[in-house]
Every structure is written in structure tokens, then in C-alpha cells.
Structure 1
Amino acid sequence: MTPAIKALERKKVSFSIHEYEHDPAAPAYGLEAAEKLGFPAEQVFKTLLVALEGDNRRLAVAIIPVAEMLDLKAVAAALSVKKVAMAQPADAERITGYIVGGISPLGQKKRLPTLLHSSAEPQETILISGGRRGLDLELAPTALCELTGAHYAQLTR
């Protein structure tokens, strides 16, 4: 049981667990999840971490559809900072407590500023990482926002 699952159970949030056999050679973790679980890529989201103002001790979370590319300028604007850069993998792992490819926006060691791509808002449910490779959680985007303090923003190119 991952910290993400524990966080959902503790708050009594309705969710479903989806597991698949992760292929270590897969070039993109999120697209692999969508394909193996049989969900459209627009419904499966990846968790990315960015460093605020280039400071790898000040991170924020951006949750976007797995087939999309993050727009760093849009993320900076949504967070009201001048610039952001992708966080170093080691820093992302240390601060969240998860490994890259399995970082969940839920159950992180420290609550970070969080943004959820606006395409999630009209969807009944979305899938996010469950805290390890090969594990996704399906839940309502409103529940994800409530648990993480996320707000919706246009985050992709």
C-alpha cells in the first residue's frame, strides 16, 4: 500500500486501483500506463515537478495528460513566478518520497503547490500515478484538487 492510497483511504475518497506490468524499457511511463490499462491518453495524467526560479529546494507539481508536453512559461504564470525549470530527478524523489515514473501527487512527504491541467476539469474521472511504476489510481479530478490544494490551469503547449 502506497502513501497515495493511504491518503485516499484516510480521507474516505472514492477511487479505483489499476495495476499493470511495467516494462522497464518503456520510453514513456504515462503513455505505457494508458496503453496497458486501455484508457484514452487524455484521461491518464502524469505528475511532473518543477523548480521555482531555478531553486531545486522550492518545487511545485504540475499534473498534465500523458501525451502532452509541459509549457514552462504557462506553469510559471500560473504559479505567479518569473520562471520555472524541470526539477532534477534526484530532488523530485527526495522531496516527494517517490521514484521517478511513480511520483504521485498524493501522499508526498511535503505538500507542494499543485496545478492540474484544465482538461481534467470536465472529466468524470482521471488516472494518476499511485506511487509506484505499474500502479495508477482513478478518481474524480475535484477530489484530487481538494486533497492537494490544486487549481486548474492551462499547462501545455
Structure 2
Amino acid sequence: MSKTTRATQLLSQAGVAFTVHAYDYDPNAERVGLQAAEALGEAPRRVLKTLMAEVDGKPVCVVVPSDREVSMKKLASAFHGKSANMMKPADAGGISPFGQKKTVPTAIEEAALAEPLVYINGGQRGLQVRLDPKHALKALKAVAAPLIA
């Protein structure tokens, strides 16, 4: 597994301190984020999942703790929209919020900013980057908002 991805390149170029953590990805896991947390030996609130959604028909990226669900009402509000829905997995693809081919607006669950370090997808399955969530927020030019149901 390569530990250099578009995600890690973006973080390095932005001067963000991070460490890379590989784990045994289980494609059959019922909830991939929780499987990652267990494989890394971390609390699910510190292993953030990245989801793609649409607000008023426009794509957005959402980063929330792996054990929580996104509130569509709160998500729409975070982007000053009227409605939100999750993208179909086939349309969303493999997801890291860092180094996306086409950058889209991103929101991070504000409760995650209370953690000293979090894990976020590092650009390929079975690869996470561990970093200060405030640095992730800045690197992504993301908004912090209440997003979970």
C-alpha cells in the first residue's frame, strides 16, 4: 500500500503535521467507519468518516464521527441550503476530504474539534491520517457546524 496519496500530498504541501496509519480494510464490514475505529484501536468519535452529499442539488463533503449519522436538516443549514440528501455510493466514489480531484465545500462536525487528534481517510482504503482536527478544518477551508442527528 502506498502511503503517498493525493490526500497526504495536499497535507504536506499545506504544512499540516500528520501521521499515516494503515489498517486491514474489510470491504464486507457493515459500517466501514466503525470497522476502521476497531482496527485502529480508537474510539469511534475520533475516527471520522467522510461522506458525500448534495445540498440543493450541489455536491458537498461531510466529515463526522464514525459512530454517528448526519442530520439532513443540519447539513442543509450548514451550507445555507433548503434540502440535503446523501449521494449514492457509486456516485461518491472512494472518499478522502483531502486532495479531491474536484474540490467541493466541506463541513466538519463541530464536536470533533474538541478532540486533540482525529483520524480521517488518507486517500485510499485502509489508510487513515491522524491529525489535529483544527488543522484539517483549515487545510480544507471547511466550515465547522453541528451536523449529527
Superposition TM-score, scaled by structure 2 size: 0.93
1:97-149 deviation digits (Å, cap 9, x = unpaired): xx2xxx11100012211111011112111110111111111011111111111
The Cα of 1:66 is off from its aligned counterpart by 0.2
1:64 paired with 2:64, answer yes
Secondary structure of the residue aligned to 2:37 is helix
Paired position in structure 1 for 2:18? 15
Q: Are the equivalent residues in 1 in contact too, given 2:98–2:140 (CA < 8 A)?
A: yes
The one-letter amino acid paired with 2:109 is: H
Q: Unpaired segments of 5 or more residues in structure 1?
A: 94-98
Secondary structure of the residue aligned to 1:26 is coil
2:62 and 2:27 map into 1 onto residues whose CA distance is 24
1:74 and 1:10 map into 2 onto residues whose CA distance is 32
The Cα of 1:90 is off from its aligned counterpart by 2.9
Superposition TM-score, scaled by structure 1 size: 0.89
Q: Percent identity?
A: 36
Alpha-carbon RMSD: 1.1
1:51 and 1:17 map into 2 onto residues whose CA distance is 29
Paired position in structure 2 for 1:36? 39
Paired position in structure 2 for 1:46? 49
Paired position in structure 1 for 2:7? 4
Number of aligned residue pairs: give it.
146
1:61 and 1:26 map into 2 onto residues whose CA distance is 22
Q: Unpaired segments of 5 or more residues in structure 2?
A: none
Q: Are the equivalent residues in 2 in contact too, given 1:117–1:153 (CA < 8 A)?
A: yes
Q: Are the equivalent residues in 2 in contact too, given 1:4–1:104 (CA < 8 A)?
A: yes
Q: Are the equivalent residues in 2 in contact too, given 1:111–1:148 (CA < 8 A)?
A: no
1:137 paired with 2:137, answer no
The Cα of 1:26 is off from its aligned counterpart by 1.1
The Cα of 1:91 is off from its aligned counterpart by 2.6
The one-letter amino acid paired with 2:67 is: A
1:11 and 1:81 map into 2 onto residues whose CA distance is 29
1:16 and 1:42 map into 2 onto residues whose CA distance is 18
The Cα of 1:12 is off from its aligned counterpart by 2.1
Paired position in structure 1 for 2:83? 83
Runs of 4+ in 1 over 3 A off after TM superposition: none
The one-letter amino acid paired with 2:38 is: E
